[in-house]
Amino acid sequence: MTALTALLATAALTASSAVQAPEPSLATSSPTGPMELPDEWMTAQRMSDGSTDLSAAKYAKARGEANQLAARTRSVYRPLGERDWTFFGPSDIGGRVVDIAVDPQVDGQVFIAAASGGVWRSADAGATFSPAWPDTWGQAMGAVAMTSDGVLFAGTGEAQPGGGSITFGGDGVYRSTDRGGSWQRVGLEDSHAIGRLAIDRTDEDRIFAAASGNLFVPGGQRGVYLTEDGGDSWRQVLAPPNDTTGATEVVIDPSNPDRVYAAMWDHLREPSQRTYGGPGSSLWRSDDGGDTWQRMTNGLPTDANQGRWGIAVAAENPQRLYAYVGTALGPFRAFFRSDDGGDSWTQTPVTAGQASQSTFSWWFGKLFVDPANADHVFLTGVNLMRSTNGAQSFAPVGGVHADQHVLRWDPKVPGRVYLGNDGGVYRSEANGASGWVKATYEPYTQFYTVDVAQTDPTLKVGGAQDNGCNRGYDGVGGPWDPIGCGDGLQTLIHPENPNIVFGCSQYGSCYRSENAGSSPRQPIGAGQTTSQRRNWLTPLQFDPSDPNVMYYAGNIVNRSTDNGRTWTAISPDLTGGGPNDPSGYPWGTITTIAAAPTDGDTLYVGTDDGKLWWTDDLGGSWNEVDAAQLPGTWVTRVAVHPADAKIAYATFSGFRSGSDRAHVMMTRDGGRTWSDIGQGLPDAPVNSVVPTSDGLLLVGTDVGVFLSGWNGGEWATLGADLPQAAIMYQRYHEPSRQLTAATFGRGVHDITVPTCPAASTKLPLGDPGVGVVGALSSCRASA
């Protein structure tokens, strides 16, 4: 892990076709050992309330509450609810694509499933994409498939768990009879994630679904399901061997629809432990259309050290099967081939290096065979791996982004192949051997952060999952340029000079550039700062009162007075421990830091173990907030009032889970006491908070952006058309009143925040959490 992390930290994106640094590994000491929790960044914070469940039902409930609040906003506060969000970009970077369906009737038309960005349609052979899924629905996707007469099916919920990112669950299978114009849910609501849909081409009312199940909670709808009426009803035809195993692949023999193959994966994620393999991981075959199944074992391993399986059948010779499996820990284990339809299997000489699975084979789990050549095989991995000799050996295919997930051949165009990976969609006209061309418009990027130049709000930088740090300096809809990083995390633009840009990879490996993010880049991080532990998203922030002063925090706060060139530690360890702490507490990093705009001596700090701290003497003394006042969950952001250093806000991840746990809190006495001001918000993680100078409070959550007065208590939805992807970060540009939101799956969006004169009454506005009744009714369009 250390060597890989170092590699990722220094990796730079040099072109859109460059191979990007891979998803970090999660190797553990045993199949059920503790996770390296910083790698589980998004998951860990959302489960910091002690919950063992990140089910789609929780998000469906939160989205329902958000929709109710949006309806009330349109009724009561029309200037807020009817405002338009503008997509700023990027359109040219893309993001994780997990499945592809080629339209059998319409030339050049394909549909793709974006991991947390919905379903998209291309009418020009994968060059550009437009939405084919409602913005107001959950955006998590796992599979797409289309019948020969154009009926489109989508399986929601992503079937592979993330590394630093999260893979959100879904709520079943949907059907569209008008190529994505409208959708109807048709079942498997409790499947959580669909790994694959397989249509019987001899009777297209027969469709198999590989239901992976809830990653966090055993049970539910798992295994292989079959509909025989086009999706109207489903029945389980292959039950999993235990309640932590689900199906990730189902394949129909193209010459014999009674023969069906399935891959099962035993996996479970808990707050501080994961099991990504076990006795349930296995391969199965049915010879009677799914009525009965037999586990294939002749030549295959039968022990418990099996992780995720991948399986494929060769259309040219359906007796030829290929399969591979990872270990329960994650690395590649072995590759197998059968020439008798799965009756027996032989291990091939494929090595771990040829398989390109790194230490996280569970991130891939797919194989694809050229429909015209049974010896021509593609293996998904960090690199796209290709064999021309029946899987006796593999070699990498160049020219594409890292982390492969799906290949589909176009039956109407010989040699045309589509590829989906963590960087988006590619097309080859050379049967996948070479000549890969990336899509030019694919606006479904997963962003962690965004920053906006104070000198010009059309200048933006952002950090993206597995797509590095990026610069959008060409205005709305313009191209974005890669500016280094592995995974892109914290990004910053100097408040007075937009040529000075900071970018960070995971675990706080950052740089300083005086060329708008381009080289040369001065490194910032472990070698220049003091900390024993650093969060996946290590906070790096300017002091708003002095642009030469910056703060960087691992488990210790570091301060720079020369714009990031040199650093001095100004705090002790402000966390409750770490992985080696005798108490066994697994976390222990600072997640957020903010300096008061009106007083450079006042700082507020939040941690992943739910602590809040403040100092009013620049770190001479640090004061911990009484834990009894706080929800105890991961602190996602702190922000200080623009005009009063004693007023600050803190936001928290996790769900309430039936409690009165706060998502947004406020202090009015410099950090000594805190009050819950988030009543009325949907019960979902809150990731960002921004107080404006004229009395408004803007929060970004997993289910939207909401607005209140400084005291909270009365909340409204801001804007009507923001896609329902998690809002990870917000930046407010005070002079133009522009709010910029970074979404995890739908790119970066802008909105102009209205003025609300009644909300700008001087503090105090009344009791915290009460707000001013009717304050938002004074909101009006900005001049």
Band of the pLDDT at 37, cuts 50, 70, 90? very low
Per-residue model confidence (pLDDT) at position 482: 96
> For 596-605, what is the mean pLDDT?
97
Query: Phi and psi dihedrals of 758, rounded to 5?
Result: -70, -20
Could you give the CA distance from residue 447 to residue 450 in angstroms, rounded to a whole number?
8
Could you tell me which of 576, 526, 581 has the C-alpha nearest to residue 554? 526
Nearest to 530 by CA among 561, 566, 504: 566
Whether the Cβ atoms of residue 55 and residue 214 lie closer than 8 Å to each other: yes
| Omega before 764 within 30 of 0, i.e. cis | yes
- CA separation for the pair 783, 780 (Å, rounded): 9
DSSP reduced 3-state for 661: coil
Q: Reduced to 3 states, what is the DSSP secondary structure of residue 65? A: helix
Give the Cα separation of 187 and 180 in Å (integer): 17
Q: What's the pLDDT band for 769 if we cut at 50, 70, 90?
A: low
Give the whole-angstrom CA distance, residue 58 versus residue 392: 46
Is 511 a residue whose pLDDT tops 70?
Answer: yes
Task: Characterize 325-338 residue by residue with b for buried, 16 or more Cβ atoms within 10 angstroms of its Cβ, and e for exposed.
Answer: bbbbbbbbbbbbbb
CA–CA distance, 162 with 116 (Å, rounded to integer): 12
Report the relative pairing of strands 184-187 and 404-409 from DSSP bridges: unpaired
Cα separation of 331 and 277, whole Å? 11
* Mean model confidence pLDDT for the chain: 90
| Cα 685 off chain centre by | 14
Pick the more confident residue, 576 or 172: 172
In this prediction the pTM is 0.92
What pLDDT band is residue 782 in, cutting at 50, 70 and 90?
low
Exposed/middle/buried for 66, CB within 10 Å: 0-12, 13-18, 19+? buried
Terminal C-alpha separation, the chain: 53
What pLDDT, on the 0 to 100 scale, is given for residue 362? 93
Q: What is the DSSP string of 95-159?
A: --EEEEEE-SSSTT-EEEEETTTEEEEESSTTSB-EE-S-TTS---EEEEEE-TT--EEEEES-S
pLDDT tens digits for range 574-591: 998 766 655 545 679 999
Q: Percent of the chain beyond pLDDT 70?
A: 90
- The answer to whether 262 touches 284, Cβ cutoff 8 Å, is yes
Query: What are the phi and psi torsion angles at 61 (to 5°)?
Result: -65, -45
pLDDT in tens, 654-673: 887 667 788 999 999 999 99
Grade residue 634 by pLDDT with cuts at 50, 70 and 90: very high
pLDDT of 41 = 76
User: From CA 701, how far away is CA 681, in angstroms rounded?
Assistant: 9
User: How far is residue 711 CA from its own chain's centroid?
Assistant: 31
- CA distances in angstroms from 528 to 168, 552, 560, 618, listed in the order given: 36, 10, 10, 20
What are the residues facing 425 on neighbouring strands?
420
Token pair recorded at residue 254: 């193209």
Q: What is the pLDDT of residues 190-240, one digit of tens each?
A: 999 999 999 999 999 999 999 999 988 899 999 999 999 999 999 999 999
Please, which residues bridge with residue 281 across strands? Answer: none
Cβ atoms of residues 66 and 290 within 8 Å: no
| Planar angle of CA 12, 13, 14, nearest 5 degrees | 110
Do residues 145 and 199 lie in contact, with contact meaning Cβ atoms separated by under 8 Å? yes
Q: Max CA-CA distance within the chain?
A: 79
CA 585/CA 474 separation, integer angstroms: 45
The pLDDT score that the predictor gives to residue 157 is 95
